Amino acid sequence: KKPPVYNFEMHKVLFSKGECPIYFEHYKTIKDKLRKDGQGQYGYSFSDEDFYVYLTAHTQKHYMFSGVGLRFLMDAYVFLTAKEKNLDWDYIAAELQALGILAFEKQARELAMKLFSEHALESVPSLTEEEQEMFLYFAESGTYGTMKKRVQNRLQELQPEGAGFTRASRWKYLKKRLFPEMEWFQNCYPFLARHKILIPFFLAGRMVRGILFRREFIKDEFKAVKKAEKEP
């Protein structure tokens, strides 16, 4: 953390193979997209185009997982206000198309420009029905999403064709939370992935720590699973 509000968050992977297979494959050879940053030995960065594509992909991942707050729309507006005229939009469109998020980016960009432009400060911006739905989703998601949206979206993945969430899908969700798949260990605890015999002891300790130190969080998640309803 860097006062007053700037946070650096280190990631072992940009995208999980299980949760985001298309993104994972796209960024698996990320070094091909990086360019030397200054004269230092270790500094590399994205081009403005690749940065914007990654920003959009990262946001869409959170958007589909548990929601994401209005901060992205503001970030997109500030970035595009400064950079839009000099960006290679043909390249950006091709990258977004490859990731399957071309329509998401277009709708989010247009929404951001409507909400934060100088004209919007003078009057209430006119939003389409789709833009109103997206705006409400952003506005109701807090900063990093909500437990309700997270549970809702995960249950949706477990039962995409069902008319409603069944007891079986709820138990399947809870089972995955209690007993994570091996990819989770590979990403978060590679030592345990290499020494699988230790995983049962880790899981037992994890449950005890959860009961002792994260009781309210666990209670909220159970309530969200119990009350979850399938979106129309």
Total-model pTM = 0.79
pLDDT of residue 162: 56
What length is written for the chain?
Answer: 232
Query: What span, in angstroms and rounded, lies between the C-alpha atoms of 132 and 124?
Result: 12
pLDDT of residue 65: 87
Mean pLDDT for the stretch of residues 132-157:
85
Classified as helix, coil or strand, 231 is coil
Phi, psi of 6 (to 5 degrees): -90, 125
Query: What span, in angstroms and rounded, lies between the C-alpha atoms of 119 and 161?
Result: 43
pLDDT of residue 232: 45
Alpha-carbon separation of residue 232 from 14, 36, 105 (angstroms): 32, 48, 24
pLDDT of residue 121: 58
